[in-house]
Chains A and B, each alone.
Chain A
């Protein structure tokens, strides 16, 4: 692997050394990288950072509960073709006109190597990952309607994220490089925050992070605040121009950090 192909993190995305290692291992072994972690630890942003750092195009395939594996490969629009045939439109004989490539198909057809992000794979049906085994392994798929095989021109770098809502099948896991993003500690968090804000007062940041980790460690929280929330919070605090001393005492804009009424009540109680 040449030096230029190594991912080192970027100015906007601060990654832990372990994460950098995993990314580079996955790229060297040409295997999909499966990223798991709490919501808000920057799983999705990682793919963007990699694509920027390596100067490669990013193709994002957002998975929803109704997404099927087939959608990522290609869609054959039968209904449109039937309608067209009724009115004798031109090109009805040409099946290819009705075969539209999905995100994986796009990634395979690209002339340059791309980054393919399969976001939140666990949202889909339990069998979904199994349906993609061959395609991700061999980097090719067959379209029976046209008799064509689509093979990756350049093997894409595949990044898969999961919130662990569903367990992924073993056969699928065995083909991936796995990385679990831990919640960043105060030191890494400071770096992350600084990557987002250019000039932040030290005292303000210290008060913010102290308060943030104190809230996070409250035992009975139902939804713990995460990185994206603390960044929103700092944004709110700086815009309102709140002095650092008041942060710990009053916890202004607590609603930015805690999204549930029960959690806000817990915070109220603890503060007294």
Chain B
């Protein structure tokens, strides 16, 4: 049953296993969907889909597989109430009258329903004309017309489609922008365990306990050891202001996730504008009073730090290569090269949407108007390991941070 649906789901990227599918068939046999289409939809989703990130793919597959249904217009509430409580049991006559309706086309029936909704002002049960329960009219439920539009009653085809059709879970898809939680999940991957750290000794050490007890003439001496802890140190440098304003929410989420991840041994976050120059700022507002010198950072943070740049790498070319104002004559690219020389593990995360799946118009706009700014992007991409800021790519980037060059 529905085996094609199983493969359709898999082709939509919902990774359903045979086990889950068998569970689903078992559930259908137990009638857990209550013979209703809506129930079927939720049963299917609860058993086969295991992440809200996949809900949208599921909805898509579901719509594709079960799409042949006649859509109905909104029905007034009062009419629905009459229909929920049928007063008459259908008789033989209705069946015969109903047979006539089989000749009507879908369009004709829809048109008739619209007319009838305008005229009808009271409850009807039985009969061949009005919307009601029983009888052989082409509208209503529990009736005997072979064709027609179900109005109210148990089937509720419409609801399941409404739910799936809304595609409410589009936002949860993996290939869309990350949220804080997803960031956090990704950052958990950034860890290197070691027991050579300053921590209280809380783990029971069996070998040492035996040795010590023997040395202690058999008198018990319990020994504890240090637990293993993460030793990763992280330096996060975020581009702020200008073209980065578009991504401020995304960067805030990233910052939140990183600062909440308390498993790092040390975490330093600084901000810069477009490119790194002589100063790094403590806040995204980039106040000079609240900044540290870049040289200080390079001198004080040892090379064990893993460095993540976050920025769109889009700026005027002179901002990258030109000499800077004031007494400091170091260009942006020189500063970046100093970082590269000092730290072995560096990745660049780029939130620019034009890198990963945008609409055609957006791409055109980006190509035409951004080409000037994109020179620096193309250049920096060759200089750094650059990744788009999505779940999948962030994981790739973090993996890259963990391995040696």
Q: Which residues of A contact B (CB under 8 A)?
A: 1, 18, 21-22, 24-26, 28-29, 31, 34, 36, 78-79, 82-83, 85-86, 126, 163-167, 170, 173-174, 176-180, 182, 219-220, 222
Contact between A82 and B220 (Cβ–Cβ < 8 Å)? yes
A11 to chain B: closest CB distance in Å? Answer: 24
A164 touching B185, Cβ below 8 Å = yes
Question: Contact flags (1/0) for B184-214 with A, using CB distance below 8 Å?
Answer: 1100100000000000000010000000000
- In the assembled complex, which residues on chain B have CB atoms less than 8 Å from the CB atom of A164? 181-182, 185
Find chain B residues with CB under 8 A from A219 CB: 249
Q: B355 on the interface (CB 8 Å rule)?
A: no
CB-CB under 8 A for A18 and B32, given A86-B219, A177-B47: no
Residue contacts A-B, CB under 8 angstroms, 23 given: A1-B30, A18-B42, A21-B43, A24-B32, A25-B32, A25-B46, A28-B27, A29-B26, A29-B32, A79-B222, A82-B222, A86-B219, A165-B181, A173-B50, A174-B17, A174-B19, A174-B20, A177-B46, A177-B47, A178-B46, A178-B47, A220-B252, A222-B256
> Number of contacts between A and B (CB, 8 Å)?
73
Task: Select which of B15, B184, B188 is within 8 A of A126 by beta carbon.
Answer: B188
Residues of A near B30 (CB, < 8 A) are 1, 28-29
Distance from A170 Cβ to chain B, minimum over Cβ atoms (Å)? 8
Cβ proximity bits B267-290 to A, threshold 8 Å, 1 near / 0 not = 000000000000000000000000
Cβ contact within 8 Å between B185 and A166: yes
Give Cα distance in the complex from A219 to B182, angstroms.
18
Q: What's the Cα separation between A78 and B23 when bound, in Å? A: 42
User: For the complex, is B304 an interface residue (Cβ under 8 Å from A)?
Assistant: no
Residue B39 is within 8 A (CB to CB) of chain A in the complex: yes
Which residues in window 1-46 of B have CB below 8 A to A?
Answer: 15, 17, 19-20, 23, 26-27, 30, 32, 39, 42-43, 45-46
B188–A79 touching, CB < 8 Å: no
Q: A82-B220, A174-B17, A174-B19 are in contact. Are A22 and B27 (CB under 8 A)?
A: no
Contact (Cβ within 8 A) B185 A165:
yes
Contact B46 A22, beta carbon cutoff 8 Å? yes
Q: How far is the CA of A166 from the CA of B182 in the complex (A)?
A: 8
Complex contacts, B185 vs chain A, CB 8 Å: 164-167
Within 8 A of A (CB), among B204-240: 204, 219-220, 222
Least CB distance, A133 to chain B, in whole angstroms: 12
Question: What is the CB-to-nearest-CB distance from B298 to chain A, in angstroms, rounded to a whole number?
Answer: 30
- B51 on the interface (CB 8 Å rule)? yes
Residues of B within 8 A of A28 (CB): 27, 30, 32
Whether A21 pairs with B20 at a CB distance below 8 angstroms is no
- Which B residues from 233 to 258 make CB contacts under 8 A with A? 249, 252, 256
Q: Assuming the A-B contacts A126-B188, A174-B20, are A83 and B49 also in contact, with contact meaning beta carbons closer than 8 angstroms in the complex?
A: no
- Min CB distance B196 to A, Å, is 20
Knowing A21-B39, A82-B220, A167-B185, say if A178 contacts B51 (CB, 8 Å): yes
Which residues of chain B are within 8 angstroms of A173 by Cβ–Cβ distance?
A: 50-51
Which residue of A25, A79, A82 has the most chain B CB atoms within 10 A of its CB atom?
A25
A25-B27, A29-B23, A164-B185 given; name 14 further pairs at CB < 8 Å.
Answer: A26-B46, A28-B27, A36-B52, A79-B204, A79-B222, A82-B222, A83-B220, A167-B185, A170-B15, A173-B51, A174-B20, A174-B50, A178-B51, A220-B252
Quick one: which of A21, A176, A222 contacts B42, CB cutoff 8 A? A21
Name which residue of chain A comes closest to B181, CB basis. A164
Indicate whether A29 sits within 8 Å of B256 (C-beta atoms), given known contacts A82-B220, A82-B222, A126-B188. no
